[in-house]
Amino acid sequence: MSNSTLPRSSRSGLTLLELLVALAVLGIALALVGLGLGSWRTRLSGEQFVQGLAYDLNLSRSRTMATAVTQRVVLVDASTYRVERQTATGWQTTSTVRARGAALTSLAGGACRFEYDTRGFMFAYTCGGNLTSNTNVTATVAGKARTVTVTALGIARGL
């Protein structure tokens, strides 16, 4: 008796067509999950950039007070900031941070440079070099505004 004469219920296994359809559905589902994870990773990376900026501002203040060597944080462009310390010959970059998933949006009217003195006080300068009282740094992360507020005492908080 051949397989073709047995009823369908007594045959075991999958046909090639059924297997290909199952693999295609699985591939589409994995692709959709991958796209979702990509945007989630970008948003998380942007949030880390903003929190990292607040952390580096606070760390620069603490290091200035502890070592009596002036430190500053410079917002270079919409996606980069540098941490620098003053040396006898000028400013030396200690770290450069580039954003993925975030854009600094407050550079035009706000502070571009935050310098700390040995008492921990912060002086904010515009991109043109003038002192400013606007010490909020705003970044856009996944379409939402995130703000880092720096007090006159140099303490930064990411909101």
Domain that holds residue 91: 14-158
Q: What angle do CA 71, 61, 45 make, to 5 degrees?
A: 90
pLDDT of residue 34: 67
Residue 3 domain flag:
no
Q: Rounded CA gap, 110 and 100, in Å?
A: 22
Q: Which residue has the higher pLDDT, 133 or 59?
A: 59
Residue 67 domain flag:
yes
Residue 5 domain flag:
no
In the predicted model, is pLDDT for residue 4 greater than 70? no
CATH number at residue 127: 3.55.40.10
The pTM of this model reads 0.69
pLDDT of residue 11: 63
Residue 9 domain flag:
no
pLDDT in tens, 38-82: 555 545 567 788 888 888 888 999 999 999 999 999 988 888 889
Phi, psi of 144 (to 5 degrees): -115, 145
How many CB atoms neighbour CB 44 within 10 A? 14
In the predicted model, is pLDDT for residue 3 greater than 60? no
Contact present, 53 and 81 (Cβ < 8 Å): yes
Residue 1 domain flag:
no
pLDDT of residue 141: 79
pLDDT of residue 71: 92
pLDDT in tens, 70-119: 999 998 888 888 999 999 999 999 988 888 777 887 766 678 888 888 88
Residue 25 domain flag:
yes
Q: Which residue has the higher pLDDT, 83 or 155?
A: 83
Residue 4 domain flag:
no
- The length of the chain is 159
pLDDT of residue 154: 79
Could you give the number of structural domains in the chain?
1
